[in-house]
């Protein structure tokens, strides 16, 4: 099967050489080709260039992309897509002034979602999650990470991971699974958190690994949740089972989570709303990708990750949605890219790099997605007729995505 996209107004993120991720000043540049073609063969990008060089080849389909911009699909490296019901009730508490912690303390929060999830059948959970996955794909997401963490019992955590496995079998975009047993301390362990950590390391991790149910391991390293010591213990055991860390750190407090992530070679450290200078220093020269989640800052009215400062300090940065019922009930990467420009002062070039190439790295999928490169999957967005790519973040809240192709097939 061969498809030719021709007369593309501008083709974004074209990379001839393999790039694993972009840091500092490298993020300012977004390579593009104006008036371009893109050739797709059997789901992969086989060629691209200026229209003047468009080859005369037999094709099964020709798509005229006149007036439209084509770019790689968004790579969303941090979501909690599997959840039951929602937490709309807490939304009003939040409007009335209660903080995230106050809502959690009065019986809301993660434990509220865990209770609902435990009572929901796997089939029902699958259907609820599938709806969200279809929704984010239509908004341009072409690779995604999904976490467990609303089960908090062995049975319910395995149920979540099994839903992710089914999604992967029934959808053609790449999906990475993360085990987040250490998302909150369940009620039963309220006065004995150590016993829950023991349960995670002694029972949960071995079974998750044995069933090959996760690629990554996560911990909510935060005051009132899991300490740096708990985090390191979990990451140490995860490592023995081949689970690479991608962790929640510095959302509300800077307690050393970034340093723990770096120590355990985390693929990414995510949130980072509260960053001290020493946290920025700790990330320099490492292979750990910092991930900002501006949808969460927007929804909770908490500070935004100091992305401008981090990039100016030479760090890389990725952007993700954190799609979840409590702190970011939206999986819209277009909005995330806008918010990164408007609130974190990234340029459109930096934000698009952060949401494509660097997001692919934070997913461990830099060889498959994230750029227009020969041999990568033809996971692409075709925009509506727009003047320039800057219009995507500028027109916040609107949807400039006209069509999404996954492995060269229109969804
Ligand atoms: O990434 N901070 C921890 N976990 C989620 C929120 C979970 C929830 O409130 O349900 C997050 O923001
Ligand atoms: Fe999260």
The residue whose CB lies within 8 Å of the most ligand 1 atoms, and thus the one to mutate among 76, 77, 80, is: 80
Dihedral angle at the C-alpha atoms of 131, 137, 140, 144, nearest 10 degrees? 110
- C-alpha separations of 166 from 127, 159, 162 in Å: 11, 11, 6
Closest CA to 349 of 317, 310, 397, 385: 317
**pLDDT digit string (tens) for 233-274?**
999 999 999 999 999 999 999 999 999 999 999 999 999 999
CATH no. for 2-72+372-410: 2.30.40.10
DSSP-derived 3-state class of residue 76: strand
Pocket test for ligand 1, best of 326, 329, 330, 331 (most atoms within 8 A of CB): 326
Interval between CA 18 and ligand 1 midpoint (Å): 34
Mutate to test the pocket of ligand 1, among 110, 116, 299 (most ligand atoms within 8 A of CB): 110
Closest-lying ligand 1 atom to the alpha carbon of residue 270:
1
Where are the strands (E) in 262-410, listed by range? 268-271, 289-292, 318-319, 380-385, 401-406, 409-410
Pocket of ligand 1 (CB under 6 A): 109-110, 113, 220, 248, 251, 296, 322, 324-327
pLDDT of residue 199: 98
Determine contact, residues 128/140, Cβ cutoff 8 Å.
no
Parts of the chain belonging to CATH 2.30.40.10: 2-72+372-410
- Place 18 in a pLDDT band, splitting at 50, 70 and 90: confident
Question: Which atom of ligand 1 lies at the shortest distance from residue 251's CA?
Answer: 2
Phi-psi category of 221—alpha, beta or left, where left has phi over 0 and alpha has psi -120 to 50?
A: beta
Residue 384 has pLDDT above 90, yes or no: yes
Give residue 308 CA to ligand 2 midpoint distance, Å: 21
Contacts of 274 (CB under 8 A, 6+ apart): 250, 251, 252, 253, 254, 303
- Which of the ligands is closest to the CA of residue 296? 1
Read off the pLDDT of residues 277-315 as tens digits, 9 standing for 90 and up. Answer: 999 999 999 999 999 999 999 999 999 999 999 999 999
State which ligand 1 atom lies nearest to the alpha carbon of 328.
12
Cβ proximity of 87 and 112 under 8 Å: yes
Distance 137 CA to ligand 1 centre (A): 22
Terminal-residue alpha carbon distance, the chain: 16
Q: What is the pLDDT of residue 402?
A: 98
User: Which class is domain 75-362?
Assistant: alpha beta
pLDDT tens digit string along 97-146?
999 989 988 888 999 999 999 999 999 999 999 999 999 999 999 999 99
Question: Tens of pLDDT along 187-231?
Answer: 999 999 999 999 999 999 999 999 999 999 999 999 999 999 999
Nearest-5° Cα angle at 220, 216 to 225? 145
| Residue of 296, 327, 329 best suited for mutating to test ligand 1, as the one with most atoms within 8 Å of CB | 327
CA angle 211, 213, 219 (to 5 degrees): 125
Q: Look at residue 164 and tell me whether its pLDDT is greater than 90.
A: yes
> What mean pLDDT do residues 348-364 have?
98
- Considering Cα of 164, then 167, then 168, then 173, what sign does the dihedral take? negative
Please give the number of the atom of ligand 1 that sits closest to the Cα of 322. Answer: 1
Among protein residues, the one with the nearest Cα to ligand 1's atom 3 is 220
Quick one: which ligand is closest to 249's CA?
1
Q: Are 24 and 315 in contact (CB under 8 A)?
A: yes
Helix (H) or strand (E) holding 193: helix 193-199
pLDDT tens, residue by residue, 317-342? 999 999 999 999 999 999 999 999 99
Residue nearest to atom 5 of ligand 1 (CA): 327
Looking at the chain, the whole-number percentage of residues with pLDDT higher than 90 is 98
For residue 244, report the distance from its CA to the centre of ligand 2, in Å: 16
Going from the Cα of 292 to the center of ligand 2, the distance in angstroms, rounded, reads 10
The answer to whether 318 and 27 have CB atoms below 8 angstroms apart is no
Residue 107: predicted pLDDT: 84
Start-end ranges of CATH 3.20.20.140 in the chain? 75-362
Q: Which atom of ligand 1 is nearest to the CA of 326?
A: 9
Angle between helices 154-170 and 122-138 (to 10 degrees): 50
């Amino acid at each position: 099967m061969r498809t030719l996209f021709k007369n593309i107004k501008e083709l974004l993120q074209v990379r001839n050489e393999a790039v694993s991720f972009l840091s500092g000043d490298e993020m300012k540049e977004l390579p593009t080709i104006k008036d371009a073609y893109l050739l797709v063969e059997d789901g992969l990008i086989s060629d691209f260039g200026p229209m003047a060089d468009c080859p005369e080849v037999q094709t099964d389909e020709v798509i005229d992309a006149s007036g439209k911009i084509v770019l790689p699909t968004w790579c969303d490296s941090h979501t909690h897509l599997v959840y039951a019901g929602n937490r709309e009730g807490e939304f009003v508490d939040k409007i009335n002034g209660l903080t995230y912690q106050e809502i959690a303390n009065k019986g809301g929060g993660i434990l509220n979602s865990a209770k609902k999830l435990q009572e929901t059948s796997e089939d029902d959970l699958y259907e609820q999650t599938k709806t969200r996955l279809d929704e984010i794909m239509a908004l341009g997401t072409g690779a995604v990470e999904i976490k467990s963490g609303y089960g908090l019992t062995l049975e319910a955590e395995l149920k979540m991971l099994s839903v992710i496995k089914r999604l992967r079998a029934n959808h053609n975009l790449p999906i990475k699974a993360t085990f987040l047993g250490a998302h909150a301390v369940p009620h039963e362990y309220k006065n004995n958190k150590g016993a829950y950590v023991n349960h995670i390391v002694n029972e949960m991790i071995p079974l998750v690994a044995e069933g090959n149910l996760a690629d990554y391991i996560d911990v909510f390293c935060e005051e009132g949740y899991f300490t740096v010591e708990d985090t390191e213990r979990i990451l140490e055991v995860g490592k023995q089972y081949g689970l690479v860390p991608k962790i929640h750190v510095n959302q509300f407090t800077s307690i050393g989570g970034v340093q723990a992530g770096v120590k355990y070679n985390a693929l990414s450290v995510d949130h980072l709303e509260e960053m001290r200078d020493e946290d920025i220093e700790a990330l320099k020269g490492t292979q750990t990708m910092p991930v900002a989640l501006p949808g969460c800052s927007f929804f909770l009215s908490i500070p935004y990750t100091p992305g401008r400062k981090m990039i100016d300090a030479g760090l890389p940065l990725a952007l993700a949605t954190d799609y979840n019922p409590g702190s970011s009930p939206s999986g819209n990467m277009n909005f995330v890219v806008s918010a990164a420009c408007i609130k974190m002062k990234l340029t459109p070039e930096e934000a698009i790099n952060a949401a494509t190439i660097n997001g692919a790295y934070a997913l461990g999928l830099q060889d498959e997605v994230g750029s227009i490169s020969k041999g990568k999957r033809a996971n692409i967005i075709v925009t509506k007729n727009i003047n320039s790519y800057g219009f995507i973040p500028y027109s916040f809240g609107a949807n400039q995505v006209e069509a999404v192709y996954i492995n060269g097939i229109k969804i």
